[in-house]
A and B are shown apart, each in its own frame.
Chain A
Amino acid sequence: MSLNVLNVGAGDIKLSFDKSDPAERIRAARIVRDMLKRGYALLIETGRDGQNRPVYTRALDFDENTCEYIIADYDPAVPSELPAASTQSTQAETNEPPVKSKRGRKPTKRVAADSTSGVAVARVAGG
Chain B
Amino acid sequence: MANKADEWAGLPMPLPDMKLVVEPNYPWAKLYKAFNECVDELEASGSDEDSDSPQIEPIRSFRLSKYKGHPVTVVVYRVLETGKYQKMFLPPRDNLKLLVNTLGASVAWGAEQESKALTLLGEMISDYAMKCYMMTGTFLELSKRSGVMYLFRRLRPTIAMRPSLHGNGTRCIAALCMHPIAHYEQSWSGAMCPTDDVIAHLALMRGDEHLFWKRSEQHSIDQPEAGL
Whether the pair B206, A122 counts as a contact (CB closer than 8 A) is: no
Tell me the residues in window 200-228 of chain B with beta carbons closer than 8 Å to chain A beta carbons: 200, 203-204, 206-209, 211, 215-217, 225
- Which residues of B are in contact with A by a Cβ distance under 8 Å? 2, 6, 8-13, 21-23, 25-26, 110, 112-117, 120, 123-126, 144-146, 157, 177-183, 188, 190-193, 196, 199-200, 203-204, 206-209, 211, 215-217, 225
Hey, which chain B residues are within 8 Å of A77, CB to CB?
A: 144-145
Tell me the residues in window 70-107 of chain A with beta carbons closer than 8 Å to chain B beta carbons: 76-80
Least CB separation from A59: chain B residue: B207
Known A5-B8, A11-B117; contact A125-B207, beta-carbon cutoff 8 A: no
Nearest Cβ on chain B to A127's Cβ, whole angstroms = 3
Q: Does A119 contact B (CB under 8 A)?
A: yes
| One of A18-26, A50-58, A108-116 at the interface | A50-58
Least CB separation from B177: chain A residue: A127
Hey, which chain B residues are within 8 Å of A125, CB to CB?
A: 21-23, 26, 179-183
Hey, which chain A residues are within 8 Å of B193, CB to CB?
A: 11
Known A58-B208, A127-B178; contact A35-B23, beta-carbon cutoff 8 A: no
CA distance A90 to B145 in the complex (A): 23
Whether the pair B208, A34 counts as a contact (CB closer than 8 A) is: no
Nearest Cβ on chain A to B226's Cβ, whole angstroms = 11
Q: Residue-by-residue, is A29-46 near B (CB-CB < 8 Å gives 1, otherwise 0)?
A: 001001100111101100
Tell me which of A5, A39, A126 contacts B179 (CB under 8 A): A126
CA distance A18 to B157 in the complex (A): 37
CA distance A7 to B181 in the complex (A): 10
Hey, which chain A residues are within 8 Å of B21, CB to CB?
A: 125-126
Known A124-B23, A125-B183; contact A8-B126, beta-carbon cutoff 8 A: no
Tell me which of B8, B13, B188, B190 contacts A120 (CB under 8 A): B8
